[in-house]
Structure formats: structure tokens, C-alpha cells
Amino acid sequence: MITENALVVYKNKPALVKEVTDGKFSISLQDGAQIKVRDKDIELIHPGPVKTFSAVELFRPETSVIREAWELLSDEGSPLSLKDFSVFIFNEYTPSSAYAAYTVLQDGLFFYGAVNEIIPHSREIIEAEEAKRGEKQREADERTDFLNRVKTCLKKPGENLFLPADTRFIQDIEALAYGKTAKSRTMKELDLGETPEEAHSLLLKTGFWTAAVNPHPSRFGLSLNKVDICPEPAPEEERCDLCHLAAFAIDSPWSNDPDDAVSVQGNVIFVHVADPASSVILDSLAEKEARNRGVTLYLPETTVRMLADDALPMFALGLNEKSLALTFKMTLDGEGRITETEIFPSIVKVRRMTYEEADKEMDEADTPDANALRALNEKALCYFKRRIEQGAADIELPDVHITVKDGVPEILPVVHHRSSVMVRECMIIAGEGAGNWAARNSVVFPYLSQEADILPDTPPGGFAGSWQTRRCMKPRILSVKPSRHQGLGLDIYTQVTSPLRRYTDLLAHIQIRSFLRGSALLDTDEVLTRLGYSEAAASAAVHAERASVNHWIMVYLADKINSVWEAVTLEKKGNRWVVIIPLLALEIQVPLQNDVTPNDTVSLILKSVNIPRGEAVFVQVTSK
């Protein structure tokens, strides 16, 4: 029976009974708190009287004493009460000895049971538990040693104080840095912030990671594993032979997945596009994989394709003497308007070229190919002029191409070429033509639109004008209902020229081919469902690509402290200016001391780089 001033345990902690009323107990805890509990919530340790905790000496018996008691009791075979257990070990039953006996029971190494029935463990159980506890203690000691070495390393960056076995202690830090978890026990024990950036910083400072580790794709939930599900080769079918046309696949020198080529014949523009939809079947493993990835992921250090790498030789244009294509044939009038669009499977003979080669051939050669290129350029410029007259935005800002080899980034400016504008316009012509074709034939299609922008009345021109125009652009809208794309100056638009790289293009091709074969088309709900999956993945890929580009720019700048860079002013924000460094295509905000206006050139000196945060600090170079 529990009475006032008894010593009890509540949730394995000692407590004193202060008052007993109607079967309920008012107890006092060690921290001074007083609560009311029921008899089932507490266990009697000693009847007392114990009025204050100062009367109870809380101690832990020596292991040797407990072991000796176990040796003697293990032969007895009879359970003991807590009172008898206390007397057996300590030769007394006091509040202090009773609570010490209770802690022996709770420890569970040598004894188990309850306060009224304490039983010795077998020798086998004790030995197994001791081995387990020994291993746990060794792990704790090694972890403590690891944490101490981390703290030393953070004070003296660059010192290699770590052992191969330490990798097990950084797994939760890496998981946090990769964005796979929001918590890290190790970061918490080091009293550091549990954020991906802080984890990344620690891994760099301790040398577990080098700057070459790019965590951003993982943070956006993207896989870097290559696709291993390859579609079947294109089946035999009737195709229009267009090998007599000069067809050009013009791209950057680093491009290795050509999926479009262009031709011209009089007032007709042909855009030949890779034809994976000829064999990719809806809901096949290859189609589902492409849908789940959304797009090909282009990173400076690697490329992870939407379709398997093995699909390239089968479908990319210009890799073989003749290529299978889906051709978009648009007839234009003298003002660049599309008057007719046809779509059909074809065979083409494609010549691959870089933009630089195409420009040079247009300027210098007197050959049928050069004449065809010049004719294409003329049609493209006419079409571009019409788009501008219809309100299209013309944005030209610096761009760079970054490649990474052995963890070292190289940054090259993307040079503006006439032929790149020509190719861009041909792709847009195909997008407008395909959109009109789909609407005319009532084919459910993934259309792109963009609402009207509120642009400055008098934009400053140059980089500043392009930057302000881009900033005013509203997000694109992907829908199955055609609507105006104000940024392109078109009343209808879709994308169909990259089915090897964009799932929306592949889906459009699948719908086109179903229509041409007379097969059942996907309905609105089915198309929207597929677009929902693919666009979520595509959006993540876009964000990961941008973050990765910024990461590698920071890596590139990390060893260039105090270097000087030319920047162009874009817009003033408060007491800072938004500027762009053309050689890096990097937009930053800096305080500028001198009076400047948009499109002025200023010199900046790099003062610091923080790779984990993706930040570089520049200050203006001032004349003395």
C-alpha cells in the first residue's frame, strides 16, 4: 500500500508521494514539479517516510557488486522482491538502497522482472548482452573521437585527420547535403545548422567531398542513372523519299544528339525531325521511362537522356548515310505566313554542320548547299520579321557553355551566329505549323502559350533592355487548348522538334502518328495525365540544370580570388545594381559607387566565393 511520504518511481524516475486523496496521488518530482497520478502510474520503492529528495542518496552500484550478487542468486533459482533484493545486495533496505536496487533491475544486464519478482538472467544472455553493449560503447567512443577530429579540422581546414572507417559517420551528412533528408544527427551534435548548404560546407571543409561533387540534381529528386530500356528499331513502313533535298542538321559543336534538320524548296520549309514515335509504344517501358524523366538532363559534367543512349544511332539525324524522319512541310507566303502544313514519315540524307560552318558557307561558298542555306536564311528572317511585327519579344543576353573534365570546369562564351537564328526560326515555324495542323484535325495536342506582358514603355535597349523584357515575361502555359503565345508573337504554338529530348514533343509525335495511321488517339484526360507527370519532372530538371551551372561557375571562380571582370549594368535596385558578367553569363547584385546608367560597363573584383551557397561576392574596382 502506497502512503504519504513514500518513495515511488514514475516513468522510471524517482518521486515522493505528498498526498493521497480518493485513490489519487499527488507526487513531487526531482525538478520540483508536482502532478497527480493514479496508482497504476507509479511503483512503490520504499514506504518511507521520505519528505525530501535530500534524504535519498541516488547512486549506481559498482558492476562488481552486482555481478557478485548475480553469481550467488543465480544458484538460488527463486525470485526476490525489491526489498529482499536490496537487503541481499546492500545488507539494508533504505530509500537509498531500495532505489539503487531498482536501477539494477532497470539496467537489465544481470536481472529482469518486476519490483515484486526479480529474476537472474542466464549466463548466455549476460555474455551476449555484454558483447552488444561493448560494441555499442566502442561505436560511441569512435563517434566521439570522430566528432572531435571534425571540430579540429574545422578550426584548421586542410588537415587530413580522418580514417577510412569515418565514412559511416558522414552518411547522414551526405544525405542532408543531397537533399535526401531534412535532419542530420551528426550536424546536430556538432552544433551546426541542419541545412543542405551547411552539410555541403562541412563536407568540403573536412575533405570528404571535393568541389567536383554536384549535389543539385539529387536535391531536385533526379536520378543520374542512365536509361537502360531501349525502344525497338523503327518498323518497315512506307516513307516519302526526300534524299534529293539538301537537309542540314546545324547545331553547336558540342551537340551529339541531332534530332532535327532543315531543307528548303521554293516557298516550302521542311523541318525533318527524329522519329522515335515510329517504335515507342504508349505505356511501354521506354515510353513510361521518358514520361517519368520528362526531358534529357543536360549537366556540365554529364548528360542523362530521356531515352536510352542506344536509341541515338537508331533515331538521331545524320549519324547514318540515310535517316528516318517525321517531316513537317510548311508552305509560306511572301510575308512569312504559313499557308499550308503537311506531316509525313520520310527518309532524308542529312549533312551535319556547326553554326560557324553554316555561316562561313553562306558567306563564302558558291555551291548548291550554300545557295540552299542562303534561301533558308532569307525565309527565316522574313518569318522572324513577321513575328516581331506581331509583338514577339527579341531577347539577346550573354550565354556560356560549360564542360567539366576530371572535375575541372571550362567556360566558353556562346558565340552568336546568323545560322543559329535561322535554325531557331525554322523550329518555330514547325511549331506553329504543327499547332495549326493539330487544331485543324482536332488532334488533342500539348500546346504552349504565354499571356501578354506588361513591358516598359521605353526599354533601354542592349542587355538591360533584354533583361527587363525577360523579367516581365509571364510563365509559359502548357495546355491542350491552343492560345496565343505573346512572347513568340504567334496565335498558336507547340513544340515538335525534339522528341529525343522532350517528352511533350514525343507525345505530340505519338498523337500525329496515331492520326496518320488512323489509330485511336489519346483523349484530353489521357494527354493531360501524361503531361502532368512529365512536366513535374521537366520542371525539376530545369531547376537542377540552372543550379548545376551556377555550382560549376562557383567552382571555376573559387581559385580566382582578386581577379577582375567586366560587367554590364542592367537595373538599379535600392542601393545596389543588378549586373551581368558576359564572360560567365552570371547575374549578380553589387553596390556601385559611381553614377552609372543601364548598359554601362563597370569593372568588378572577385572577393570571395561560397560554393555550397552558390554565391560570389564582387566589388567595384575604383580608381585611386
Tens-place pLDDT, residues 447-504: 999 987 777 677 788 999 999 888 888 999 999 999 999 999 999 999 999 999 999 9
357 and 383 part of one domain: yes
184-199: average pLDDT: 96
**Domain presence at residue 231:** no
125-132's contacts with Cβ under 8 Å and 24+ in sequence apart are 126/70
Average pLDDT over residues 554-573: 96
In a domain, 45, yes or no: yes
What CATH number did the domain enclosing 191 receive? Answer: 1.10.10.10
One domain, residues 438 and 331: yes
pLDDT beyond 60 at 624: no
Contact between 463 and 398 under an 8 Å Cβ cutoff? The reply is yes
61-65, 343-347, 466-470, 593-597: which is most confident? 343-347
345 lies in a domain?
yes
- pLDDT the model gives residue 61: 87
Domain identity same for 170 and 83? no
What integer best gives the mean pLDDT of the chain?
A: 93
Same domain, 502 and 562: no
pLDDT at site 581: 98
- Identify the sign of the CA torsion 358, 363, 369, 375: positive
Quick: pLDDT tens for 215-240. 999 999 999 999 999 999 999 999 99
Cα 289-291-292 angle, rounded to 5 deg: 65
Nearest C-alpha neighbor of 117 from the set 63, 60, 73: 73
Q: Residue 164 has what pLDDT?
A: 83
Task: Indicate the number of domains in the chain.
Answer: 4
Would you say residue 86 lies in a domain?
Answer: yes
Same domain for 252 and 173: no
Q: Return the percentage of the chain with pLDDT > 70, whole number.
A: 99
**Residues 11 and 137 occupy one common structural domain:** no
Where in the sequence is the domain holding 108, given as residue range(s)?
A: 7-123
Mean pLDDT of 157-180: 87
**Strand, coil or helix: what is 386?**
helix
Sheet holding 13-21, edge to edge: 34-38, 24-29, 13-21, 7-10, 42-46
Per-position DSSP letters for 17-84, written without gaps between them: EEEEETTEEEEEETTS-EEEEEGGGEEEEE-----SGGGS------HHHHHHHHHHHTTT---B-HHH
* Cell (9 digits) for 177: 547535403
pLDDT the model gives residue 460: 83
pTM: 0.86
183 and 329 part of one domain: no
Both 153 and 77 in one domain: the answer is no
In a domain, 221, yes or no: no
Based on the domain organization, do 246 and 109 belong to the same domain? no
Which pLDDT band holds residue 5 (cuts at 50, 70, 90)? very high
CA distance 415 to 243: 31
CATH number reported for the structural domain that contains residue 576 in this entry:
2.40.50.140
Report, as an integer, the average pLDDT of 73-80: 81
Is pLDDT of 429 > 70?
A: yes
Sorting pLDDT into bands at 50, 70 and 90, what band is 75? confident
From 517, 534, 550, give the residue that closes a domain. Answer: 550
pLDDT at 139 over 80: yes
Q: What is the pLDDT of residue 159?
A: 67
Domain annotation covers residue 348: yes
Give the start-end residues of each E strand in 231-374. 240-241, 247-251, 260-265, 268-274, 297-298, 303-304, 323-332, 338-348, 350-354
pLDDT of residue 448: 97
Question: How far out from the chain centre does Cα 190 lie?
Answer: 26
Q: Are residues 377 and 290 in the same domain?
A: yes
For range 549-564, the mean pLDDT: 97
User: What's the pLDDT score for residue 569?
Assistant: 96
Q: Report, in angstroms and rounded to the nearest whole number, the Rg of the chain calculated over CA atoms.
A: 37
pLDDT at 338: 97
pLDDT (0 to 100) of residue 617: 97
| Residue where a domain stops, chosen among 550, 580, 600 | 550
Query: Could you identify the residue written with the cell 556560356?
Result: 400
Which of 330, 276, 335 lies closest to 308, judged by CA? Answer: 276
Give the HSE-up count for residue 283: Cα atoms under 13 Å, Cβ half-sphere. 4
Q: What CA–CA distance (Å, rounded) separates 89 from 359?
A: 97
| Residue that is last in its domain, among 550, 577, 611 | 550
Q: Cα separation of 303 and 402, whole Å?
A: 12
Same domain, 430 and 293: yes
Q: Does 344 lie in the same domain as 205?
A: no
Within a domain: 426:
yes
Residue 262 lies in a domain: yes
- The whole-number pLDDT of residue 77 equals 66
